[in-house]
Amino acid sequence: MVNEIEIASEIKSFDIVRQFIRANCSDENISRKLYGRIYISVSELVSNSIVHGNQFSAEKKVKLRLNNLSNRWEITVEDEGCGFDPKLIPDPLLKENLTSESGRGIFIVKNYSDEFFIDKSGRRITLIFYK
């Protein structure tokens, strides 16, 4: 089953995202740990899309797509920004970056998801979580 939503690039849209994740994952026999990994990862990507991708422009949208397959969830987050080059993101584990206030989101998402793909020149990220 595939479900999609589109939200405005505003912080208040996070409530819609939370409800979307809950509605699409709560009917499954899902562990709290897996639900947490999904929720944190999607929240981080939506935050990055709103702040960095769409730069809080409410006219620009963030699209979420969740495909609930028999053995996995495929979740895609896409914004209307300029995209980014993942090679230019500093390694948050380097000593000089440990105290930085930002820069850990993609690292967290990569480590929480089972598979991680960036396409559309950094405007769309797809996550895979195995059940």
pLDDT (tens digit, 9 = 90+) per residue, 13-49? 999 999 999 998 876 678 899 999 999 999 999 999 9
Task: Read off the pTM.
Answer: 0.92
For residue 103, name the pLDDT band (cuts at 50, 70, 90). confident
For the record, the structure tokens of 7 come out as 């939200």
SS3 state at 79: coil
Angle between helices 105-112 and 32-48 (to 10 degrees): 150
Q: What is the DSSP letter of 122?
A: G
Cα separations in angstroms, 35 against 40, 65, 82, 95: 9, 16, 30, 31
